[in-house]
Amino acid sequence: MRVASWTLAAVASFSALGGFIFGYDLGLIGGALLGLSVDLGIHDSISQSSIVGALKLGSFVGAFVGGALMLRYGRRKAIAMCSLFAMLGPLVMASSSGVGGLVAGRAISGIGVGACAIIVPAYLAEVAPASHRGAVVQVYEMMLCVGLLVSTLVNWGLSHLGPFAWRVMVGLPAIPGGLLAGSLLLLPESPRWLVMQGHLDLALQTIHTVLGGKKSPFPGVFGQDPAEIAQAEDELLLLC
């Protein structure tokens, strides 16, 4: 019986970009703060602390925003929405000329990654089969750590470019944020969300596809493997 597929691996990896962005945003500020403090003349501890802490404050707000979005619009659309904050925040920071813009950019980024921290693990848990659920959800945590590591390496690599390198450091997260925005086109909707909305046929089709079955061009019609159909139906029963 097939319990995992390349489709599930792709869905988990793509949606877990939210974890990568969170880790990158957490790690980048250490290197960027050195450059921006010199370039913009920000040397007092209160201003520097505000810039660093704004991400955490935004994340606190984003956790509530993420919960509301995924209940109202579904997991897939909510991930795309929070990615807009993850794109906008870095761009605001990169174009800032003072403390206010930097704090605002960090707070906007925080809302995005805080929302993703709620939505993405829930989405991964709902789209993964029960036998692989724990491992799939851990992809988010792993990507967060990868983001921390990559931000450190990128900061080190860009530190030799001069006093304006910090703008590149803080602006780079807009790229994975843009990729995450593509979730609206590439990710399937959560089967649990579809069940909550009464779309049982679509939920069963999504589960069947994630488990590795071939999607039929006819709605509600699946592949011919009885084992795959039975497994998809078992997963659907767990959501009802």
For residue 103 the two structure tokens come to 């704090």
Question: What pLDDT band is residue 114 in, cutting at 50, 70 and 90?
Answer: very high
- DSSP-derived secondary structure letter, 189: P
Cα–Cα separations (whole angstroms), residue 47 to 90, 108, 229: 18, 17, 58
Which parts of the chain are beta strand (E)?
A: none
Residue showing tokens 């955490």:
56
Rounded CA-CA distance 225/174 in Å is 43
Which of 166, 149, 147, 150 is CA-nearest to residue 86? 147
pLDDT at 231 over 60: no
Please write the tens of the pLDDT for every residue from 116-141.
Answer: 999 999 988 888 887 778 888 888 88
> Any idea what DSSP says for residue 162?
-
Query: What are the tens digits of pLDDT across the range 144-160?
Result: 999 999 999 999 998 88
For residues 55 and 25, give the distance between their C-alpha atoms in angstroms, rounded to a whole number: 8
